[in-house]
Structure 1
Amino acid sequence: MRVLLADDQELIRVGFRMILSVEPDLEVVGEAGDGAAAVRAVADLRPDVVLMDVQMPGTDGIAATEAIVAAYDDVVVLILTTFDDDDYLFSSLRAGAAGFLLKNCPPDDLIAAIRQAAQGHALLAPEVTRRVIARSTSGPTGRPTATPDTRLTHLTDRERDVLVAMARGLSNAEIADELVVGAATVKSHVSHVLTKLGVRDRVQAVIAAYESGLMD
């Protein structure tokens, strides 16, 4: 799996490169110090996964993510953030990022996340996702503001249950256990939810669930 590192701090890039270099199935094919350089590097190198910082000089990670996702269906972008200092994460998810990681996550989590992303699995850290979405959808009073979403009316009751479970951060296996159904059934429901909502992955579905007020 080919990985591109996009971060304006060279020390961060060096650290990630060292962590990934010992994995036989991962190869760091390039680095970029800002968003514009990341977009150019993706065009030249065609990595499988981009580890993208958000706050970078010039073109930031959000704009770079949007450009990359729009141009390359086969390139996955994972956002790297310190979270507490980053108010732009929600926008980056809406730009098409497949998920996000905290920069202080354990090395094993970073490696596992890259592998999952390369296999097409969106990444959700439930405790962080809920905080980000709540912060990004709150109105001037500090109370969450929901926007009715007619797409949810097309979901069956069971599909709505599955969407709620997804928004709580449950995996397919955990959803299967909770709803007492088979894993294949859950996978089918998730596919139907994504299709009916017109979204590209679980991250976008979860955002829709929160923004619509379904999780209130």
Structure 2
Amino acid sequence: MSVCMDVATDPIRVLVVDDQPLFRMAISCLIEDEPDLHVVGQADNGLLGVEKARELQPDVVLLDVEMPVMGGIEAAGLVRAQAPAAKVLMLSVVGDDEHLVDAVRQGAHGYLLKDLRPHQLFDMIRACMRDESPLSPALVSRLLSHVRGTPAVPPTPTAPPKRADLSERELEILRLVAEGLTNRQIGRQLHITEGTVKNHVHNALHKLHMENRIQAAAYVVRHGLGNAAPMP
């Protein structure tokens, strides 16, 4: 098992939505074996997943991308509306660029390939609850490459602020976020605590009017902030 939870901490409540019964039940059993994770429900299509999310209000929703009745991409946006506090993690067999970008647009907090090992999935569920936005490593460069060539990704509710609104440290950390580093990895590289990194990321997202790290990483790339040029 990957990480033991504090006995005073409630387990992370997970809803698993996948149309393949064997995969859905297997992954649910594996999640239940983790002391800090708990499966509160299952669904075999996106529409039922939205209904379950509204009813159960889980912490994390694992959404398969390709499903009958309603696919995971469409369901992601509806889940965010029906269960605003839930983190949405997409699961896919292949890292299709269009699906990846559409998932970000729908507000997904992470996008994972199904070839990952169980302990990696557990760690990414936990990372999601730490307000990180996990991506399978193979997808990080593909998403950012798409952003470089597509200025409309990701959309933001307001015009992006000036660089001067970000502190030097916040910008430094966002550059590392854009490289795919976790809060823990950033903390080690900058010799600061993981909590300090999390606070800086939270403040930066607030200033940028963004919801997650994927959007922030795209912002860094899209606005050419990936270098160490001095702030204006």
C-alpha root-mean-square deviation of aligned residues, in Å? 2.6
Q: Which runs of 5+ in 1 are unaligned?
A: 139-143
Matched with 2:42 is 31
Residues 23-73 of structure 1, C-alpha deviations (whole Å, 9 max, x = no match): 233222221121111000111222221110112223221121111112322
Matched with 2:27 is 16
Matched with 1:108 is 119
Is contact 1:167–1:206 with CA below 8 Å preserved after alignment? yes
TM-score (norm 1): 0.83
SS across alignment from 1:151: coil
Equivalents in 2 of 1:37, 1:186: separation in Å? 37
1:45-56 alignment to 2 at 5 Å?
Answer: 45-56=56-67
From the superposition, tell whether residues 161 and 86 of structure 1 become closer, same or farther in structure 2 (CA, over 3 Å).
closer
1:1-216 alignment to 2 at 5 Å?
Answer: 1-85=12-96, 87-135=98-146, 137=147, 144-146=149-151, 150-153=160-163, 154-181=165-192, 183=194, 185-215=196-226
From the superposition, tell whether residues 14 and 188 of structure 1 become closer, same or farther in structure 2 (CA, over 3 Å).
closer
Residue type at the aligned position of 2:181: L
From the superposition, tell whether residues 30 and 164 of structure 1 become closer, same or farther in structure 2 (CA, over 3 Å).
same
From the superposition, tell whether residues 188 and 119 of structure 1 become closer, same or farther in structure 2 (CA, over 3 Å).
closer
Identity of aligned residues (%): 36
Residue type at the aligned position of 2:57: R
SS across alignment from 2:31: helix
Is contact 2:63–2:91 with CA below 8 Å preserved after alignment? yes
C-alpha displacement at 1:147, in angstroms?
A: 6.4
C-alpha displacement at 1:85, in angstroms?
A: 4.8
Judge which range, 23-32 or 180-189, deviates more: 180-189
C-alpha displacement at 1:99, in angstroms?
A: 0.9
TM-score (norm 2): 0.78
C-alpha displacement at 1:82, in angstroms?
A: 1.8
Residue type at the aligned position of 1:172: N
C-alpha displacement at 1:182, in angstroms?
A: 5.3
SS across alignment from 2:15: strand
SS across alignment from 1:88: helix
Matched with 2:230 is none
C-alpha displacement at 1:87, in angstroms?
A: 3.1
Judge which range, 151-160 or 54-63, deviates more: 151-160
SS across alignment from 2:69: coil
Residues 127-184 of structure 1, C-alpha deviations (whole Å, 9 max, x = no match): 412213323x46xxxxx24469742522233322221111011233433444455555
From the superposition, tell whether residues 20 and 177 of structure 1 become closer, same or farther in structure 2 (CA, over 3 Å).
closer
SS across alignment from 1:70: helix
